[in-house]
Amino acid sequence: MRKIAGYLTKNRSEKDQKIAQSTHENEYIKPRKTFWRNSKQLLKFSLRLYVMNICISPLHGIFADIQFIFYQVHQLL
């Protein structure tokens, strides 16, 4: 037996050991590679939004006005 994310599991066969897996709290098993790729994408996206918010915040009023104008034009079409 071995322990993965706090759960005791049976030893895997040779083939299964090559497929790394990660166990989530809801016991949904997802390939570890995909889990980390999704985590990195989420982190990069969050960081990008954070940086954009800091850079744009002084111009927020201008962008809000432009967005409002585009919204009004879209309603007319």
pLDDT, tens digit (0-9, with 9 covering 90-100), for 9-53: 656 555 555 444 555 455 555 556 666 677 777 777 777 777 766
**What pLDDT is recorded for position 41?**
75
Q: Is the dihedral of CA 47, 52, 57, 61 positive or negative?
A: negative
Number of domain units in the chain: 1
Residue 46 lies in domain? 2-76
Whole-prediction pTM: 0.28
What are the pLDDT digits (tens) for 38-49?
A: 777 777 777 777
